[in-house]
Amino acid sequence: MINIQNKLKLLPSSHIVLQKLDKVKLKHNFLVEIIRFEIDGIRSEILNNSYFSTKEIILEEVISRVNKTVENLVESPIKKVINGTGIILHTGLGRAPFGNEILKYISGKLSGYINLEFDLETGKRGQRLDLVDSFFKLLTSAESSVVVNNNAAAVLLGINTLAAGKEVIVSRGQLVEIGGSFRLPDVIEKSGAKLVEIGTTNRTHLQDYKKAINSNTGAILVAHPSNFKIDGFTKMPAEEEIIALGKEHKIPVMMDLGSGALFSPKKAGLPDEYVVSEIVKKGFQLISFSGDKLLGGPQAGIIVGQKEWINPIRENPLMRALRCDKLILTSLEYTIRQYLTNQSIPSIRTYELFTVPINELKYRAENIFRRLGDKIIRDLGITILDTQVEAGSGSMPTELIPSIGIMFNSNVSEATLAERFRKTKNPIIGYINNKKFIIDLKAISKEEIDTLIDSIKEVAGSLYK
């Protein structure tokens, strides 16, 4: 057995590695730090009896690891991908996509300074929330609004303001968990309020709310059951009844709407979903919803409601920790303004994708076939099929949207195909169903079709290597 101490003597110095490296686009001090890190890593492996036979092999291994680490650092880890999952509001892929127009708008506004917190009328300090407040008041009929960095933050801030140190009543059937292990009970706990669960998973009565109210009740929270639907033997009081009960006892009632549409999705040929303005009219004191779901904008959490409750939220010290920056507010302002200037469906990328007719998707699929050629179609076993997709991110839960997909059935396994598409020059993210790899066209824009075709050709070419 070779002595470990002798093996350690084979480790190169940082100076030797530097000499052997090709020209690297990284500052010298950072490069030296990476070299030392990789040498230490191999030292640990040797101490754990990993086998490196010669000094030359160890040097090559260090250089290889350093080059790979540097490459990962110099190249952006953020990659533009083509969403072939069919899920337009895909959380893992950034939810609501931005179109070219909004990017031009943001670039034009933020290439210098903006009046983020500067009142151009008075010349004094202004309020950043006022930049979008008038839009939300007009679009939702609410008295005022607040914008924070996501809807979980909106719920946290709202409950903290209404009921810190007090109790919050929630039906057990609405204690939701959505993507990323976001659980409503955990958010309520972190808000400083005490959760009071009432009813059962499938049935909650108005009497359950009445029994739970006491002198320490700070708020009642009603939550939209995102990502699931309970059918059968169920019972839930009408929202108007809960609001009336809260009013009777002078207890604010907050609605966590989750997705939150600013117009009826039915106008876009989509399944129905709660519209924020309709919820406002019911009389909720506060309503929270997301900016990057059915609204179609950037990640943000919006709270709209009555000034009596919005004003204390604006003054909450947590507001500074959860507020949005100029990038979010600019892109949000652009997005919501489209709802004011378009007669029916807002001109934003989310609804451009949602409203592509099924016949157009089928035409695009057939066009892809024609441009690929018979050999690639045969080698990859490509066929066109009807599919059904979800909106994503808890929007329109349990509802499916008709779409068109391209299915691959080659000698290469579906997992290998998925990996090869992810590793093309322009990564394609599809999905596997019934042991077949599928790229759905619903979330792929017309402008991305050429890139998709190039990637399919690239994958086909890899079969012969």
**Whole-angstrom Cα distance, residue 456 to residue 84?**
12
208-216, Cβ contacts within 8 angstroms, sequence gap of 24 or more: 208/171, 209/169, 209/237, 209/242, 209/245, 210/245, 212/167, 212/169, 213/169, 213/245, 213/249, 213/251, 214/167, 216/166, 216/167
For residue 341, tell me if it sits in a domain.
Answer: yes
Domain of 326, in residue numbers: 100-347
> Do 38 and 106 lie in a common domain?
no
Number of domains, the chain: 3
What's 419's domain CATH number? 3.90.1150.180
Considering only CA atoms, which of 316, 315, 160, 336 is closest in space to residue 263?
Answer: 336
- 149 and 261 together in one domain: yes
The answer on 200 and 235 residing in a single domain is yes
Tens digit of each residue's pLDDT, the chain (465 residues): 457 777 788 888 888 998 888 777 788 899 999 999 999 998 888 888 776 778 888 899 999 999 989 888 888 888 999 999 999 999 999 999 999 999 999 999 999 999 999 999 999 999 999 999 999 999 999 999 999 999 999 999 999 999 999 999 999 988 877 655 678 889 999 999 999 999 988 899 999 999 999 999 999 999 987 656 666 777 889 999 999 999 999 999 999 998 889 999 888 888 888 899 999 999 999 999 999 999 999 999 999 999 999 999 999 999 999 999 999 999 999 999 999 987 789 999 999 999 999 999 999 999 999 999 999 999 999 999 999 999 887 777 668 899 999 999 988 999 999 999 999 999 999 999 999 999 999 999 999 999 999 999 999 988 766
- The structure tokens listed for 173 are 């059937």
SS3 state at 188: helix
Sequence-ordered strand ranges (E) for 291-400: 301-305, 383-389
Q: Residue 448 domain-assigned?
A: yes
- Look at residue 95 and tell me if it is in a domain: no
Instruction: Report how far residue 412's alpha carbon sits from residue 403's, in angstroms, rounded to the nearest whole number.
Output: 25
Tokens of 97: 């996509």
Alpha-carbon span 395 to 226, nearest angstrom: 7
Among candidate residues 347, 362, 393, the one where a domain is terminated: 347
Q: What is the largest CA-CA distance in the chain?
A: 83
